[in-house]
Amino acid sequence: MDTKEILKKVRKIEVKTRRLSDHIFGGEYHSTFKGRGMTFSEVRAYQFGDDVRAIDWNVTARYNEPFIKVFEEERELTMMLMVDVSGSESFGTTNQFKKDTITEISATLAFSAIQNNDKVGLILFSDTIELFIPPKKGKSHVLRIIRELIEFKPKSKKTDIAEAFKYLSNVMKKKAIVFMLSDFMDDNYERTLKIVGNKHDITGIRVFDKHDEEIPNLGMVPMLDAETNTVQLINTSSKRVRNNYKIAALRFSDYFKTTFKKSGSGTIDTRVDQDYVKKLLGYFKHKGR
């Protein structure tokens, strides 16, 4: 993909996701993720209906009329996007690949954050850390993140979610809002997630294709494992083969939901042919209660 084509794709994603974040997610994001507390802003003259507990008695005594302290939310937060770039993300049998949906969701979240003057960072991972972009503010920074999500070529095709969480713990010393986007075809990350979840506000967004969970009856089919690059001839007409495939997929899905719930973290499930906007909006509203 040449530079002109990349910029065109970045612009297309920006237009779509910026509109979503401006009109839908901006307010929901702000009300869902609170700042670190209230900080003193100014004093002003007392008005009818003000809380008498907010009266600043020193200033009141000095001017011989009541003044109150005004506080505002200490808003600035940091959002970290953790994106799985392993081989299985370059798969899709409907409108687009899983990685395309992940890019759109990431861009929507990033624009919602900068709209609220928060910082955004990015971790791209496979079974190793492929790229780390430290958190910053601003539109140009978000556009860089989108560009990396579109054009980045990972060195590895495998997945190690525990390793990604360990890295997050090392680089983020202060509490962050963390969204991990993956198909979560991995396990053995329960202990690491529990440790990281004690410090950060974590949400796992599982993006999957319908054929991740079941395969149609197509007879003998050569199937490529995108993470190991091995090809196997699979007899999809066998009911036992199709059931085993479904059971394996459900094991990863159940592990994801159970493990995140145990750690006190949130989850969102969205299929590439489903409307992720409704899923995100529903999650924000529920979390903000």
pLDDT in tens, 187-213: 999 999 999 999 999 999 999 988 877
Longest dimension (CA), the chain: 90
Percent of the chain with pLDDT over 90: 43
Q: Give the tens place of pLDDT for each residue, 31-42.
A: 667 655 555 667
Under the banding of pLDDT at 50, 70 and 90, the label for residue 4 is low
- Judged against a pLDDT cut of 60, whether residue 160 lies above it is answered with yes
Q: Which domains does the chain have, with CATH numbers?
A: 3-32+75-287 (3.40.50.410), 38-73 (no CATH)
Q: What is the pLDDT of residues 44-71, one digit of tens each?
A: 898 888 888 889 999 899 889 998 887 6
Query: Which neighbouring-strand residues pair with 178?
Result: 80, 202
Place of tokens 């095709």: 157
Q: CB-side exposure of 53: number of CA atoms within 13 Å? A: 1
Backbone angles phi, psi at 87, to 5 degrees: -60, -35
**Quick one: angle between helices 98-115 and 139-151, nearest 10?**
170
Spatial separation of the C-alpha atoms in residues 240 and 198, rounded to whole Å: 41
